[in-house]
Structure formats: C-alpha cells, structure tokens
C-alpha cells in the first residue's frame, strides 16, 4: 500500500494574502465548542512570514494531532516566535444565552481585539466573523493547512485545558481536569450523580434535562 503523508501546515495562505497587500495576517481558531461544560476559548496568532518561521515551529500542527506534552512545548515556542498572540473566551452562561456559534464568534473577536497590533487580514478555521471589518478567509480544516491557524489551535486548546484544570480544583467531583468538560462516560456518570453545576452548558443535551430539574447557581454545585 502507498504511504499516505500527513499534510504539514505551512505559510502558503499567509503569503498569498501578503502578496495581495495584507502585511499582518492573524490565524484564528477555537477550542471547546462541543464540550458540555466550561468556556469556548479562541486564540489569534500573527507569525513572521519569513523563511525561518516554519523551521522554528517544526511540529506545530492541528492541536488534535498532538499530545498534551507536545502542545505544551509548542505553546512556549509559538509565544516566542509570534509577532503577536492573544486568547479570548466566552463563558458557559454566554453560550447558553447566545448559542454556541455566536459565543464562538465572540470568543474569536475578543482574541483578535487582544492582539497588540491590528491584523490586516484573518485566516479562520471554519467560522466567519461578519461583524469584523477585516479581510478574512474561513475554511474547513484550516488548522491543518495554515501554520498561523495551527498555532492558534494550540494556544486555544492549552489555554482552555488550563482553565478546566483550575475549574476542577474549585468544583469537586466532575473530573474536569481529565475530560475537560467533554461528553465522556465519566462526565455523564458525574452529571447523573451530582447534577449540573454553574459551569455546565444548560443548552446542551444531555445537560438540558438535568438543568431543568435544578438551578446551577453556585460553584458548590
């Protein structure tokens, strides 16, 4: 059988935008959109578009393709290499109030607003941001194609994982540090045993039915 080579993210998309006159290109991605609890977190990253950058960020890829240890190591290198980077989030309450798609856009807009320089263009994984007056390209699997988006996916994932570990330390019994709020069997069993807490997304099934029977108002759950 032929060997299938996994595509390595590159700066091809960024360079195309630079040739069109857009000097600072930010890659944008999110983490936690499908979780049952916790925030949705987004990151924006502007990388130097020179020949050294791909070598300096060798190993950076879609965060789902990396181990936790690899993501942690890559996070530090991304922060050293990047011209600018920022992280933004939207809470579980905002997700319930606005819907997860709108909340994801909000988290992305907050990450972009937090950059120390204003980007001229955006490369985004799958999500359009029509409310932002910035040139943008959104396409599926951008975190496996664009190096800037891949870098953003790592910063978003590692930031959210740290938030969920902190949440686990303050809200006992749910195992947030292990499953990060996603719909695992252990999480479902904890929900059935304890009911939802303030960090759960009551608009998400199967959390919704439990939220209807209890009011998750405090961190004590």
Is 30 flagged in the annotation as binding?
A: yes
Residues with Cβ within 8 Å of residue 29, at least 6 apart in sequence: 42, 43, 124, 125, 142, 143, 149, 150, 152, 153, 156
Is 62 flagged in the annotation as binding?
A: no
Q: Distance between CA 149 and CA 187 in Å, rounded?
A: 30
**Got the DSSP string for the chain?**
-PPPPPPPPBSHHHHHHHHTT---EEEEEEE-TT-SBS-EEEEEEE---STHHHHHTTT---GGGS-HHHHHHHHHHHHHH-SEEEEEEE-HHHHHHH-HHHHHHHHHHHHHHTSSS--SEEEEES---TTS-SEEEEETTGGGTBHHHHHHHHHHHHHHHHHHHHHHHHSTTS-HHHHTT---HHHHHHHHHH---TTB-TTSTTHHHHHHHS---STT-
Q: Distance between CA 187 and CA 174 in Å, rounded?
A: 6
Binding residues: 29-30, 125
Binding residues for a divalent metal cation: 29-30, 125
């Amino acid at each position: 059988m032929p060997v299938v080579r996994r595509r390595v993210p590159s700066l091809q998309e960024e360079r195309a935008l630079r040739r069109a006159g857009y000097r600072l290109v930010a890659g944008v991605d999110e983490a936690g959109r499908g979780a049952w609890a916790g925030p949705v977190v987004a990151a924006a990253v502007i990388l130097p578009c020179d020949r050294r950058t791909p070598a300096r960020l060798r190993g950076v890829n879609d965060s789902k393709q990396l181990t936790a240890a690899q993501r942690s190591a890559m996070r530090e290198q991304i922060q050293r290499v990047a011209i600018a980077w920022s992280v933004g989030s939207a809470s579980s309450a905002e997700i319930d109030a606005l819907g997860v798609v709108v909340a994801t856009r909000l988290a992305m807009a907050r990450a972009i607003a937090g950059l120390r320089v204003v980007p001229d263009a955006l490369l985004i994984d799958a999500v359009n941001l029509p409310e932002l007056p910035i040139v943008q390209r959104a396409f599926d699997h951008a975190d496996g194609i664009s190096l800037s988006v891949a870098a953003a996916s790592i910063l978003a994932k590692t930031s959210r994982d740290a938030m969920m570990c902190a949440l686990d330390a303050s809200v006992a019994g749910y195992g947030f540090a292990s499953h990060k709020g996603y719909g695992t069997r252990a999480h479902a069993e904890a929900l059935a045993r304890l009911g939802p807490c303030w960090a759960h997304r009551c608009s998400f099934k199967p959390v919704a039915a439990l939220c209807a029977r209890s009011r998750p108002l405090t961190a004590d759950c």
